[in-house]
Structure 1
Amino acid sequence: MTNSTVEKGYFGEFGGSFIPPDLKNVLGVLDENFEKYKDDPEFIEEFNYYMKEYIGRENPLTYAENLTRQVGGAKIYLKREDLNHTGAHKINNAIGQILLAKRMGATRIIAETGAGQHGVATATACSIIGGMDCIIYMGKVDTERQALNVFRMELLGAKVVSVDKGQGRLKDAVDAALDDLVENYQSTFYLLGSAVGPHPFPTMVKHFQSIISEESKRQILEKEGKLPSAVVACAGGGSNAIGAFAHYIEEESVRLIGVEPAEAPSLTQGVPAIIHGFKCLTLLDENGEPMPTYSIAAGLDYPGVGPEHSYLKTTKRAEYVIVTGQEALEAFQVLSKIEGIIPALESSHAVAYAMKLAKELKKEDSIIVNLSGRGDKDVEQVFNMLKSK
């Protein structure tokens, strides 16, 4: 399969840059700098330094032996992004973009966050590089259910802005961050956390997150001597999933499976539309506006999805399925009890589907589940949910 970027910034009909001219100029400069530095030996050396010495990569590809035995069928491997510094895959992209921002002379960083992990990663990156103001936009509902992450961001030196417009969730935080960028583009670098938004953000995020599949592909060949039958990852905006898929897209024998929450099934039920400056499969209401969504996992609570995922869906290179909040909650508890690994609620959606898929495959097959984050941030929420039953 050839590179899915048919035209720069586009993945088939999806992607693009539907933004005001001034902002298009700013993102044009960003694109130029990204293209300039992504293959620059000095930039790569510095990025790799932080990946190893600060984040703790390469992280393991752990054989979930107990889970495999309980479920039956294919071997289940967990790509341990939960072991990264700050507890999720988000730090990979945050470090990459902050090193780019430093080279561009930025002094003010803004970001959006849903579950708080990207906000924590951005605040962390700003802290380690130094000399940059850090403003994080977060929906009011999410600040309440992820209060611990709000405190972590503030502890790291960031200013957290609670957004109470709309539903007070991730979409509204993105709206607020984009409004900020329009007003302050001359001094501001928008460190976007998902593989969404106008070009070049989806391409940049994929580039920095592709380290996930670069490692897992090498690791599974060492452990099994062959490629996996499937790679499974949760899909909200789509950053962990596109990173987990990247180095397998050309491997037609490997099934790529994105798992959406039943409460926000953009890829399985969405239609092509423009949201936040780019075209993707989007959930729309009867008025053609982005539909309100809700997921127990704040990081999956988004009515759109990355444009490359939309392309992979429509070309049938990747499969996208749904898992209910209840199924994810059960997987959260199962993995905790039998593997001693507490997954993020986002990642629990992928675990839940992998448990189903393993039963359909042979014992000599293997599945890689991208464990995109750890569940510390969700323990209190899960505790309250279970207690209220």
Structure 2
Amino acid sequence: MDSKGFFGQWGGRYIPEVLYQTFQELQDEYKKARQDPSFWQEYEELMQTYSCRPTPLTYAGNLSEHFGGARIYIKREDLNHTGAHKANNVMGQGLLVKRMGKKRVIAETGAGQHGMATATMAAKFGFDCTVYMGEVDVKRQRPNVFWMEKMGATVVPVQDGSRTLKDAINEAFRDWVTNIDSTHYVFGTACGPAPFPEMVSWFQSIISKEAIEQIQKMHGKLPARIYACVGGGSNAMGAFTHFLDTDTELIGVEAGGLGLDTGKHASRLCGTDASPGVAQGYKTMFLQDDDGQMLETHSVSAGLDYVGVSPILSDLWEKKRVRFEAATDKEVMEALDLTMRLEGIIPALESAHAFVQAFKEAPDLKKDDAIIINMSGRGDKDIFTIAHAFDDPSWKEFIIKRAEEYKS
């Protein structure tokens, strides 16, 4: 990142003047933390004692045998506290909030995992917490909403626009402008104005810091490829960072939805529907029309339907360091089903996008090659969506009976 917050032509800090001092304070505190070895040590100790790190790298022997090509390894961020990679970022930002002396945190969330992680961090550190969540996502991620509220967070359903992640981000920024002295915005992904893209990526880089050591110990050499799903880009940056200076190929998998030719998807860097734009405080590739109005997106996963993407990933895409692919909803459900049946592991719908592309490519690699799939989260949160997508009759019967019980 350069001095103005750009990665090549992408990024920057396009913010209202009222937020300038707040961002400068955050930038200064972040720089101090990066230059202070004791901060990272404190962060790692917190993640080890509170969030079960390091997360394991699991050899998926049954999947490897099934596809007959590369050895498949899964980086198990689902075993991180709160069930996803999101804790890596929020705990780091929580330590910064303590340093800045603020008492309230706000966040946006799509799939609910970032909101869940923020509520958890706030409970641990004693902060007041408000989470903004699109009304559509509130409905399809009700279990996460329940837990956020039980941990003391206020969850605000956002009814503007498409009522999904981008609208939750807009509402969180409105809150921050109003409460800048007391509040820190715990941005959930590697997007937004500088220093958020770099800062979130730094905290998430603990994933690849562990993985690069684990794979060499288990496999004896670096992996041929790493696969990660891409919404905003935090788990992908976490999985890629320590491999950027190696020969390992990096593949980001976006939400192909109903197909890239249908307009019902959320693919920015793999498809052709996105274009450069400035929104929500930074420049990147956005799904937008000719007037700069954001397009509707679609994905079976609540966490991948964002209209933009990390400016760092836009830069790596432009430099051809990261290859981008897309997985359709149908492919995601098939990969999820296969992984559950062969390995007894339940990926989140977001994570399953990465499994799709890995499964397509693993058979064409050598048997002494290894690939890593970053499993960004677990699928427990998606049980309602997954059961509906599988059209499971016993689940429908269960829901109907429970609804009748509530009525009575």
TM-score surpassing 0.5? yes
1:255 aligns with 2:249: yes
Once residues 335 and 361 of structure 2 are traced to their aligned partners in structure 1, the CA distance between those partners, rounded to angstroms, is 13
Deviation at 1:156, TM superposition (A): 1.1
Once residues 264 and 348 of structure 1 are traced to their aligned partners in structure 2, the CA distance between those partners, rounded to angstroms, is 15
- Per the normalisation by structure 1, the TM-score is 0.96
Deviation at 1:105, TM superposition (A): 0.6
| Corresponding residue of 2:184 | 189
| Corresponding residue of 1:264 | 266
What amino acid does structure 1 have at the position aligned with 2:179? N
Kindly indicate whether the alpha-carbon contact (under 8 Å) linking 2:4 and 2:13 is maintained by their aligned counterparts in 1. no
| Corresponding residue of 1:315 | 319
**Pairing 1:30-69 to 2, within 5 Å after superposition:** 30-69=26-65
**Pairing 1:197-208 to 2, within 5 Å after superposition:** 197-208=192-203
| Corresponding residue of 1:243 | 238
1:267/1:7 Cα in 2 relative to 1: closer, same or farther (>3 Å)? farther
Deviation at 1:24, TM superposition (A): 2.2
Deviation at 1:275, TM superposition (A): 1.7
2:289 to 276, 280, 285: 285
Flag structure 1 segments of 5+ consecutive residues without an equivalent.
Answer: none
| Corresponding residue of 2:151 | 156
1:340 aligns with 2:344: yes
What amino acid does structure 2 have at the position aligned with 1:255? E
Residue 86 of structure 1: SS of its match in structure 2?
A: helix
What amino acid does structure 1 have at the position aligned with 2:155? V
Residue 300 of structure 1: SS of its match in structure 2?
A: coil
| Corresponding residue of 1:373 | 377
1:223 aligns with 2:252: no
More deviation, 301-310/24-33: 24-33
What amino acid does structure 1 have at the position aligned with 2:327? V
Number of equivalences: 383
| Corresponding residue of 2:405 | none
Kindly indicate whether the alpha-carbon contact (under 8 Å) linking 2:133 and 2:164 is maintained by their aligned counterparts in 1. yes
1:274 aligns with 2:292: no
Kindly indicate whether the alpha-carbon contact (under 8 Å) linking 1:267 and 1:282 is maintained by their aligned counterparts in 2. no
| Corresponding residue of 1:147 | 142
Once residues 50 and 78 of structure 1 are traced to their aligned partners in structure 2, the CA distance between those partners, rounded to angstroms, is 23
Residue 38 of structure 1: SS of its match in structure 2?
A: helix
Deviation at 1:42, TM superposition (A): 3.6
What amino acid does structure 2 have at the position aligned with 1:109? V
Deviation at 1:170, TM superposition (A): 0.5
What amino acid does structure 2 have at the position aligned with 1:38? R
1:233 to 228, 231, 236: 228
List per-residue Cα deviations over 1:217-263 (Å, max 9, x = no partner): 00111111111101110000000000100001111x11110000111
What amino acid does structure 1 have at the position aligned with 2:187? L
1:114 aligns with 2:110: yes
Once residues 383 and 86 of structure 1 are traced to their aligned partners in structure 2, the CA distance between those partners, rounded to angstroms, is 21
Residue 317 of structure 2: SS of its match in structure 1?
A: helix
Deviation at 1:204, TM superposition (A): 0.6
What amino acid does structure 1 have at the position aligned with 2:254? E
Kindly indicate whether the alpha-carbon contact (under 8 Å) linking 1:233 and 1:257 is maintained by their aligned counterparts in 2. yes
Residue 332 of structure 2: SS of its match in structure 1?
A: helix
What amino acid does structure 2 have at the position aligned with 1:208? F
Kindly indicate whether the alpha-carbon contact (under 8 Å) linking 1:138 and 1:160 is maintained by their aligned counterparts in 2. yes
| Corresponding residue of 2:404 | none
**Pairing 1:14-33 to 2, within 5 Å after superposition:** 14-33=10-29
Deviation at 1:286, TM superposition (A): 3.8
Q: Give the number of the structure whose alpha-carbon radius of gyration is greater.
A: 2
Indicate the percent of aligned positions where both proteins have the same amino acid.
50
Residue 298 of structure 1: SS of its match in structure 2?
A: coil
Residue 390 of structure 2: SS of its match in structure 1?
A: helix
| Corresponding residue of 1:86 | 82
1:177 aligns with 2:172: yes
Once residues 2 and 368 of structure 2 are traced to their aligned partners in structure 1, the CA distance between those partners, rounded to angstroms, is 37
Once residues 41 and 70 of structure 2 are traced to their aligned partners in structure 1, the CA distance between those partners, rounded to angstroms, is 38
What amino acid does structure 1 have at the position aligned with 2:129? C
Residue 347 of structure 2: SS of its match in structure 1?
A: coil
Kindly indicate whether the alpha-carbon contact (under 8 Å) linking 1:198 and 1:277 is maintained by their aligned counterparts in 2. yes
Deviation at 1:41, TM superposition (A): 3.7
Deviation at 1:7, TM superposition (A): 4.3
Once residues 392 and 59 of structure 2 are traced to their aligned partners in structure 1, the CA distance between those partners, rounded to angstroms, is 34
Deviation at 1:294, TM superposition (A): 1.2
Residue 226 of structure 2: SS of its match in structure 1?
A: strand
Once residues 364 and 353 of structure 1 are traced to their aligned partners in structure 2, the CA distance between those partners, rounded to angstroms, is 19
Flag structure 2 segments of 5+ consecutive residues without an equivalent.
Answer: 257-264, 394-408
Once residues 289 and 338 of structure 2 are traced to their aligned partners in structure 1, the CA distance between those partners, rounded to angstroms, is 36
2:300 to 284, 288, 296: 296
Once residues 185 and 114 of structure 2 are traced to their aligned partners in structure 1, the CA distance between those partners, rounded to angstroms, is 12
